[in-house]
Amino acid sequence: MKDQTLKQQITEVATRYPAPRSAVMPALHLAQAHYGYLTQEAMAEVAEYLHLPRVTVLEIATFYSLFHTRPVGKYHLQLCTNLSCMLLGAERLQRQLEQQLHIRCGETTADGRFTLTAVECLGACEMAPVMQLNDDYCGHLNEQRLAEMLQTLQEEPNRKPENGPPSS
Amino acid sequence: MYEQVFLLEKRDSEYQDLAGYRSGGGYSALSSTLRDSTPEQLIELVKEAKLRGRGGAGFPTGLKWSFVPKGGTSAKWLLCNADEGEPGTFKDRIIMEQTPHLLLEGMILAAYAIGAAKAYIYIRGEYVIAIRRLEREIQACLQAGLLGKNILGSGFDLDIYLHRGAGAYICGEETALIESLEGNRGQPRFKPPFPAVSGFYKGPTVINNVETLACVPPIVQRGADWFRSIGSEKCPGPKLYCLSGHVKRPGLYELPMGISLRELVEQHAGGTHSGKKIKAVIPGGISAALLPEPALDIAMDFDALSAAGTMLGSAGVIVMDESTCMVRVAHRIIEFFHHESCGKCTPCREGLAWIEQMLRRIEDSEAQSGDLESMERLYGNIEGNTFCLLGDGAVMALRGVVKNFRHEFIERIQQGARAA
Ligand SMILES: Cc1cc2nc3c(=O)[nH]c(=O)nc-3n(C[C@H](O)[C@H](O)[C@H](O)COP(=O)(O)O)c2cc1C
Ligand code: SF4
């Protein structure tokens, strides 16, 4: 079912730009926060509210790495593997995560709870090695901290991310 | 003793909100400018200060602003480049988290100088804390009459909007940023026309980096002479340096432009965390060619680093100690650029894919003699033949590694030959 709040939010955000087309990224962020990922319906709604062809919306959604056109786990672990983190052991941490979650980077666990992604620089090299757990940055990682974090997440099925997504 | 102006040392939220920022003299630069100066006078002041853009290229900011045509009917735009994607860089994030009003005040001043009534901050999608804080503080400014209609009773209007990016390094390139902001795929546009003449929706557009804009309020408050008294004649002012990698004290350092790279790494950041010798340092984000240890006695400014075949770039300083494998480093760097290539032009898209494969073979000791030379020919063909500077940055970075540590590549290739 279509959601009126989403429609309102998208219509409002479109007024900030000279043309509604500019609002396609904020609209996709809003739709993704609303539906969890960019389903076909979500993208169709964005297209409708901004008066854009669906193919345009799909094209934008697939160009950018933060937009997900497939479901992601409840906990999305995004480990930075760029140079500063690599120098401080990110590759070891990546192997550890893959072993403990029994998945490779780019995959989601069978129960749908964890998605693991190797990402490029997160812009937080002062706390390398660093990863993002949903929206939150977790820095100064080592094997022990990572093992403890995973254990907490695995034991606490209802842990909510600390903050909701930003509104724009 | 160098006195800090970015106020980043004042942690614990002192300057994170409007009241705190104002108690330290914040927005006095804006009120005095709106009261006493014309836009032209403000542009002159920024020219006199010799402020050069902190986004990478070091372009003179006052000059950039002066390219915007005066008057005219089409709307003018100010875009703040807060996409900060250059690996090894985190200065803009910390400015936005710790002193968001320094950026906002700088933007209001810049918009006044060029006559823009709307401005956008194109901010990295991952920077959620900074996004929330800026959203909150923009609201506070609207309520305090510092944004919106008739700012501080001056008759000048400005709205600032946040535009959240979505994970594409190329959108930090200014014309790709404009494309992205217009709702297209973030792929660079041909220049000319330059954005100052025809940019966002074909209107005159100024794009400035976060740190560049944050330099403007202190220039207004303390004067152009003060700004020029810091750093060197051609590259003056305070500068933020991002230290990471094998250093004892990683973090953000505010020091004069032109400080020696060795002093920055060995004294301020405490040398290597392991106590091992330094092997090489990347001075300006991974697009910048690395400098081997003996070359560290160099000034961290646009001109000195460019003369040495590298660049100040984003001032992302990445330190590598002697345990670092340079073949691995080269491979990782090229994987990054290949991943971030926007696909618009063949030399970048295809060339980087080939180089990445060659580097993987060298790293896995599967390469044969002659492969290193083929790779060098290939990247020689990419350089200068790409649509935007991403391809050139990739080559500059790789060339730096191969030139200084060629023997490591040859050793790997020979290992492979022996094993075969
Ligand atoms: C591939 C590429 C990526 C870039 N990324 C950024 C960036 O993340 N942030 C930035 O401010 N400038 C970046 N730039 C530089 C911008 O194109 C532009 O020169 C800069 O934002 C201008 O601001 P300034 O004059 O204040 O330095 C990038 C350039 C290239 C070629
Ligand atoms: S050089 Fe690379 S990033 Fe730049 S336009 Fe060409 S393909 Fe795109």
pLDDT at residue B326 in the model: 98
Would residue B6 count as lying in a domain?
no
Contacts of A28 in chain B (CB under 8 A): 166
Question: Comparing A62-76, B6-20, B110-124, B141-155, which segment has the lowest mean pLDDT?
Answer: B6-20
pLDDT for A167: 46
Q: Are residues B37 and B159 in the same domain?
A: yes
Mean pLDDT of A7-22: 97
Cα separation of the two ends of chain A: 23
Q: Do residues B315 and B300 make contact, with C-beta atoms less than 8 angstroms apart? A: yes
pLDDT value of residue B250: 97
The pLDDT, as a whole number, for residue B10 is 58
Mean pLDDT on B321-330:
98
Which H/E stretch holds residue B396? helix B389-404
| Of the residues A32, A63, A94, the one at which a domain ends | A63
Tell me the mean pLDDT in the region B155-179.
Answer: 98
pLDDT at A111 over 60: yes
> What distance in Å separates residue B90's CA from the closest CA in chain A?
5
- On whether both B155 and B281 belong to a single domain, the answer is no
Alpha-helix residue ranges (DSSP H) falling in B149-270 = 174-181, 210-214, 216-222, 224-228, 261-262
Residues B128 and B217 in one domain: yes
Same domain, B149 and B65: yes
Residue A33 and residue A79 in one domain: no
The CATH code of the domain that includes B290 is 3.10.20.600
Do A59 and A94 belong together in one domain? Answer: no
Does B418 have pLDDT greater than 90?
no
> Do A30 and A101 have their domain in common?
no
Model confidence pLDDT, tens digit, residues A121-143: 999 999 999 999 999 999 999 99
User: Is the per-residue pLDDT at A164 higher than 50?
Assistant: no
Per-residue pLDDT of B110-134, as tens digits, reads 999 999 999 999 999 999 999 999 9
Position B73 scores a pLDDT of 86
Confidence at residue B169, expressed as pLDDT on a 0 to 100 scale: 97
Domain boundary among B296, B321, B346: B321
Indicate if B316 and B333 belong to the same structural domain.
no
Q: Does one domain contain both B180 and B197?
A: yes
Least Cα separation, residue A162 to chain B (angstroms): 12
Residue B337 · residue B298 · CB < 8 Å: no
What separation in angstroms does the CA of B364 have from each of B309, B368, B400, B412?
30, 11, 21, 8
Task: List, as own/partner pairs, every contact residues A44-47 make where C-beta atoms lie below 8 angstroms and the sequence separation is at least 24, other chains included.
Answer: A45/A2, A45/A6, A45/A7, A45/A10, A46/A10
Q: How many domains would you assign to chain B?
A: 3
Reading the block at residue B44, the tokens are 């002159």
In a domain, B395, yes or no: yes
Position B11 pLDDT exceeds 70: no
Residue A10 included in any domain:
yes
- Domain boundary at A63, A86, A101, which? A63
Interface contact B166-A64, CB threshold 8 A = yes
Mean confidence (pLDDT) of chain A: 93
Write out the DSSP string of B86-124: STT--HHHHHHHH-HHHHHHHHHHHHHHHT-SEEEEEE-
Amino acid at site B139: Q
Q: Which domain holds residue A49?
A: 4-63
How many angstroms separate the CA atoms of B413 and B359, rounded?
A: 10
pLDDT at B384 over 80: yes
How is residue B208 written in tokens? 């400035």
- Element containing residue B215 per DSSP (H, E): none
Task: With respect to residue A166, please indicate whether it lies within any of the assigned structural domains.
Answer: no
Instruction: Give percent above pLDDT 70 in chain B.
Output: 98
Total tally of structural domains belonging to chain A: 2
B248 — phi, psi (to 5°)? -70, -45
Query: Is B125 part of any domain?
Result: yes
- Is residue B412 one of the residues assigned to a domain? yes
Contact A21 B336 (CB under 8 A): no
Task: Say if residue B395 is in the same domain as residue B265.
Answer: no
Tell me: do A30 and A91 sit in the same domain.
Answer: no
The first and second tokens of residue B139, run together, are: 């609201």
The binding-site residues of ligand 1, defined as CB within 6 angstroms of any ligand atom, are B 53-57, 59, 81, 83-86, 170, 172-174, 207-209, 212, 388-390
B32 with B179, same domain: the answer is yes
Residue B101 neighbours by CB under 8 Å, 6+ apart: B15, B18, B21, B26, B27, B137, B141
User: Do the Cβ atoms of B87 and A168 come within 8 Å?
Assistant: no
Q: Which parts of B308-366 fold into alpha helices (H)?
A: 326-340, 346-363
* Between A167 and B112, the higher pLDDT residue: B112
- The two most distant CA atoms of chain B are separated, in Å, by 79
Q: What is the pLDDT of residues B327-352, one digit of tens each?
A: 999 999 999 999 999 999 999 999 99
Q: Can you tell me the distance from the alpha carbon of B168 to that of A65, in angstroms, rounded to the nearest whole number?
A: 7
Q: Judge whether A32 lies within some domain.
A: yes
Residues B126 and B264 placed together within one structural domain of the fold: no
pLDDT digit string, tens, across residues B64-102: 999 999 988 899 999 999 999 999 999 999 999 999 999
- Could you tell me if B115 and B39 are in contact, meaning their C-beta atoms sit under 8 angstroms apart? yes
Could you read off the pLDDT of B173-196 as tens digits, one per residue? 999 999 999 999 999 999 999 999
Minimal-distance CA residue to ligand 2 atom 8: B342
Range of the domain at B43: 18-228
Above 50 in pLDDT, residue A168? no
B174 and B45, same domain (yes or no): yes
Element (H, E) at B405: none
The more confident residue out of A127 and A157 is: A127
Torsion of CA B95, B98, B100, B105, to 10 degrees: -80
Mutate to test the interface with A, among B79, B81, B90 (most CBs of A within 10 A): B90
Q: What is the mean pLDDT of residues B263-272?
A: 97
Subunit contact A123:B93, Cβ cutoff 8 A: yes
What six digits make up the tokens of B274? 């392991």
**Do B271 and B255 share a structural domain?**
yes
- Residues B105-111, mean pLDDT to the nearest whole number: 98
